Chain A
Amino acid sequence: MPDVIFRDGSIRQNQWNVVSRPDSGEALDVPEQKRVLIPADLWLENRERFAGNEDVGVWLDSHDEPEILADYVNELPMIAVNFPKFSDGRGYSIARLLRERFGFKNELRAIGDVLLDQLQFMKRCGFDTYELRPDKDIRKAARCLNFFSQGYQAATDTDLPLFRRRAS
């Protein structure tokens, strides 16, 4: 499995397997003895079975509503957000809502069409880890996470917009 990038730029071994949505009529196939991310709505349907299991997290697609997890986020060890195409920007709003509105404290991961030049935006919106598309050069991630030393706006990484930092 390809490595995963952490927000501090370090690169570590990926422990998590993304389980895709089963075709209609098929049952969810959760591999044993592995850490897995399953579609969020299926986790909800089987919440009694999965809650408290530190090896089962969820993933949301870009058209999914993160509101479905609002009351349960911190029961999950990890939430991943899928970018079906890097130019689909819904995942940024989903991440901020999970963090800032629903108070998700555990690991938030970007998966899918994750490229280098979007990493810093993802970091600012609350993502901790990034599964870079395998054809991209992971050694360049640390640089791309830190093109900018600060931002004008508040986001998940800072409550204080520049206009408040300037005033102090």
Chain B
Amino acid sequence: MYVYDEHDRQMAAERVAQFRDQTERALAGELAEDEFLPLRLQNGLYVQRLAPMLRICVPYGMLRSTQLRRLARITRDYDKGYAHFTTRQNIQLNWPNLEDVPDILAELAEVEMHSNQTSGNCIRNTTTDQFSGVQSDELTDPRPYCEIIRQWSTFHPEFAYLPRKFKVAVNASEKTDRAAIQVHDIGLQIVRNEVGELGFRVHVGGGLGRTPMVAPVIREFLPELDLLTYLESVLRVYNRYGRRDNKFKARIKILVKALTPEGFAEKVEAEWSHIKDSPSRLTPEAIDRIKAYFTEPAYASLDNATELLAQQRFENRGFDQWLKYNVDIHKKPGYAIVSLTMKETGIPPGDVTDRQLEQIADLADEYSFGEVRVTHEQNVVLADVRQDQLLELWEQLGPMGFATANLNMLTDIICCPGGDFCALANAKSIPVAEAIQRRFDNLDFLYDLGEIDLNISGCMNACGHHHVGNIGVLGVDKKGQEFYQVSLGGASQHDATIGKILGPSFAQDDMPDVIAKIIDVYVNKRTEEESFLDTYRRVGIDPFKERVYA
């Protein structure tokens, strides 16, 4: 994982001093509210329904145990003893005091953390696959490229006041896309060209929100070394020509659509032709330097513990289920990838207490080289667990509430904080998630249903990624009443699709029944091997409509 050098440390300290100065001027009345707004947003600070909210950056989801312990301490000292894992691999505090934020940032900087550009109309945290570096089917580890993009985008002088927020995601697997790159402003798919050189397929103009769009490809192959000059060109075209007259039409997807992907690509290529050979072009040495931080940990030389695990599974059904659903194959023999689910029924999805953060830190130290990854599904991954220690780990996870074996199941719900916390929300989302989790509390039934993404957003801004849920739920406001619109058939991976709206919206109390009816249709119509999404794609939306609105 990346470690700061003296340059990074210096800039991090300067940033804290800058924000301290800005906060003092804001509190002294020298900065008007609208002048302070972008400054605090670009330091992750929102003013929310109940209190300020601080969004702390977790670059591409990677955290060290020391950082988790510091976060735990911060939630105790400055907040109410819990934090929230977001849908963009970041962490939020819900109750800090405005005047404490510079101190919190100083504490974060001590452990090489920050909240830079986690909000505001700037380039946000670059996200990637939580299994990067440990899965066998990726072309290369995407994290060094994410770090290169992080450095390039941090305090970029030209792109701090874009028309709107800007999100980049990177994926390196040909089979999966856990980073959902096609619904980002820029999605970078790592590919090799016909002569075997590494590069990127560049998607631009995807996004959720009010106008959901799957990003078109604007360049089939961008050589590795050209990454930053090309990104700079895309951003410059967007900064100059993106709409600024209407916030709802200001994302790059609207510009790409207006110019057509071909027209947009032409503008980018024209810009790029001027700067592609500038000193901002990456060098092999610069890439190698960053890659050196993402080398493999000191793996033991092991064989797969196939027989041991078979025996343990045979003796313990709970362990067997957990292994099947929450544990993935690792590229190294004898190791496994373990997902800790933060989706216990009754707890808002993604919420963790200070004690749990410390428990995760301890587990990371004991079982996974002191590192964890945060996922956009709001779970936590221990990426390097020895197979012969899985049973021991599982036995510890149960009492901590991290072993609910529902990864990717119907109840592994992606959910924004919603109307309980967020000033933007039209409706609550957490109680809807909980009611659905309570309705579907039988794990055997969930396993029989197989993988279903259920995503809930409390408003059009779509932080809960409802458009790309196989089942999407969107909170809407109808004359002051909270209602929920359901969409079906969304998908976020290489087959990225925006879900289709089922029909008129429902009251909150009806939601578990509505989901149950949708599931009924699937169970009745499916063939043996079909997932929910397969069945939906085959039979279409009508059978679901007929059943739900009967």
Contacts and interface: CB of A to CB of B under 8 A. Distances in A.
Contact of B274 (A88, A94, A101, A121): A101
A92 B283 contact: no
Contact of A149 (B14, B154, B289): B14
Interface stretch (B156-164, B393-401, B447-455): B156-164
B14 A164 contact: no
Contacts of A147: 14-15, 17-18, 21
Contact of A154 (B18, B121, B278): B278
Interface residues of A, number: 37
Interface in A112-168: 115, 117-118, 120-122, 124-125, 137, 143, 147-155, 159-164, 166-167
Contacts of B285: 167
A164 B158 contact: no
A93 interface: yes
Interface in B485-530: none
Interface core residue of A88, A121, A159 (most chain B CB under 10 Å):
A121
Nearest to A160: B279
Interface in B1-60: 5, 7, 10-11, 14-15, 17-18, 21-22, 30-31, 35, 38-39
B345 interface: no
A150 B11 contact: yes
A89 interface: yes
Contacts of A7: none
B225 to A, nearest CB: 11
Given A87-B161, A125-B157, A167-B285, A159 B240 contact: no
A73 B260 CA distance: 32
Interface in B140-195: 148, 151-152, 154-163
A163 B282 contact: yes
A51 B127 CA distance: 51
B236 interface: yes
Contacts of B240: 90, 93-94
Contact of A87 (B5, B7, B121, B154): B121
Interface in B119-150: 121, 148
B157 A155 contact: yes
B283 A164 contact: yes
Given A167-B285, A167-B289, A148 B14 contact: yes
A109 interface: no
A163 B39 contact: no
Nearest to A90: B240
A42 to B, nearest CB: 22
B80 interface: no
Given A117-B39, A164-B279, A164-B286, A89 B162 contact: yes
B35 A148 contact: no
Interface in B266-291: 274, 278-280, 282-283, 285-286, 289
B210 interface: no
B155 A151 contact: yes
A27 B336 CA distance: 76
A90 B148 CA distance: 25
Contact of A148 (B155, B163, B274, B286): B155
A86 interface: yes
B239 interface: yes
Contact of B30 (A89, A122, A137, A150): A137
A159 B14 CA distance: 22
B224 to A, nearest CB: 14
B21 A150 contact: no
Nearest to A83: B161
Contact of B279 (A89, A125, A149, A159): A159
B478 interface: no
A152 B157 contact: no
Nearest to B235: A93
A81 to B, nearest CB: 13
A92 B155 CA distance: 13
A164 B309 CA distance: 49
B538 interface: no
Interface string A65-96: 00000000000000000000011111011101
B283 A163 contact: yes
A152 B5 contact: no
Given A137-B30, A148-B14, A167-B283, A88 B161 contact: yes
Nearest to B154: A152
Given A96-B158, A152-B151, A88 B280 contact: no
A117 B289 contact: no
A137 B28 CA distance: 13
Contact of B244 (A88, A96, A151, A167): A88
A118 B236 CA distance: 18
B11 A125 contact: no
B158 A125 contact: yes
Interface in B333-386: none
A143 B21 contact: yes
A161 B155 contact: no
Nearest to A117: B39
B139 to A, nearest CB: 22
A155 B21 CA distance: 25
A97 to B, nearest CB: 8
A94 B240 CA distance: 8
A103 B30 CA distance: 37
A154 B10 contact: no
A162 B236 contact: no
A121 B228 CA distance: 19
A120 B157 contact: yes
Contacts of A122: 157
20 contacts: A87-B161, A89-B121, A89-B239, A93-B236, A117-B35, A120-B157, A121-B160, A143-B21, A148-B11, A148-B15, A148-B18, A149-B14, A151-B11, A151-B155, A152-B11, A153-B156, A153-B157, A154-B280, A159-B278, A161-B152
Given A89-B161, A89-B239, A148-B11, 5 more contacts: A115-B35, A151-B155, A152-B155, A164-B283, A166-B5
Interface of B: 5, 7, 10-11, 14-15, 17-18, 21-22, 30-31, 35, 38-39, 121, 148, 151-152, 154-163, 228, 236, 239-240, 244, 274, 278-280, 282-283, 285-286, 289
Top 7 nearest A-B pairs (CB, nearest first) are: A89-B161, A124-B157, A163-B286, A121-B157, A147-B18, A92-B158, A152-B151
